[in-house]
Amino acid sequence: MQRVLVVGSINVDRILQIPQLPLPGETIKMTGLTSAAGGKGANQAVAAARSGAQTTFIGNVGADADGKMMRQTLQDNQIEIGAVGVTSSTVTGQAYVLLQASGQNSIIINSGANDLLTAATVTAQAAIIEKQHFIVAELETPVAATIAAFRIAHQARIPTILNPAPARANLPAKLLASTDLIVPNETESASLTGIQITDQASMQASATFFHQLGIPAVVITLGAAGCYYSYADQQGIIPGLTVPVVDTTAAGDTFIGALAAKLTPDFSNLVAALQYATQASALTVQQMGALPSIPQQAAILAALADNQK
């Protein structure tokens, strides 16, 4: 069984359903308000677990009702949470999702306990990190913690996957140098490279930028258009799937987790794993919420089989 460890964030999402984003100074009325388990790290871990990976999590929650709920939710998804710390000094992370009628969302984060994840906490889990097939991280927790995880992974020759989200520029060179696969979306890629994604030539130029930093594999997600990949002598576009969009929350995280669950450590099945991840993401956007929308492996495989008929 594939073993995946996620270093990342744990949030509770408050989903505000609105017709459209308000203009400056405008007051609008919500059409609905719901709460759901979320956080980029938690989403990615659940996606990996639901796609059949033996999944472990390193992160933090508050000593509050939200933290208790999130720990239970991870356990309910067969995720090992022995390295999920509990702190009484701040709250569990919160995300306020402004969900428009179009299905597009904007998100405001209160990091809370996520900001307390340290390099020392991660280093203490070195023995667990060294037993994995992949280490996955994003940028909703302190970069120092991710650097520590990736350093341990590289010393043990375990491949690493970095989702550089939320977007930021000027990531530490030592983080990028210990990244084996980087998976930004178009905005995140532009923030790091300075190259706007407009066509396949700009995708290739962006991939070259990342390769020159020492990152062997690059996947740029393109929303409904699919994703672009570049690895060794392979490059191309995996087309997106046309589906009715209800909520795009966690679509990218589902892609990352599903990819980590199916990709072989030598990347020899990259195209097939990307096709699987694309299908998983397409199922996610057809449901409301973050964790609740992440599909199980059986549903993904059934949808792939239907598409191939």
Q: Which residues are annotated as a binding site for ATP?
A: 185, 221-226, 252-253
Alpha-carbon distance of 283 to 115, in angstroms, equals 31
Query: How many H helices and E strands in the chain?
Result: 11, 13
Alpha-carbon distance of 28 to 76, in angstroms, equals 37
Largest CA distance in the chain: 54
The total of other beta-carbon atoms located within 10 Å of residue 168's CB is 12
Q: Catalogue the active-site residues.
A: 253
**C-alpha of 154 from chain center:** 20
Among 275, 309, 256, smallest CA distance to 137 is for 256
Cα–Cα–Cα angle for 272, 276, 43, nearest 5°?
135
15 beta partners: 34, 97
238 beta partners: 227
Residue 259 neighbours by CB under 8 Å, 6+ apart: 161, 183, 219, 273, 274, 276, 277
CA distances (Å), origin 84, targets 69, 121, 138, 298:
13, 10, 16, 28
What amino acid occupies position 18? I
Q: Which residues are annotated as a binding site?
A: 11-13, 39-43, 140, 185, 221-226, 247, 249, 252-253, 284, 287, 289, 293
What amino acid occupies position 174? K
Alpha-carbon distance of 162 to 260, in angstroms, equals 11
Tokens, residue 199: 């066509």
Q: Which residues are annotated as a binding site for substrate?
A: 11-13, 39-43, 140, 253
Q: Which residues are annotated as a binding site for K(+)?
A: 247, 249, 284, 287, 289, 293
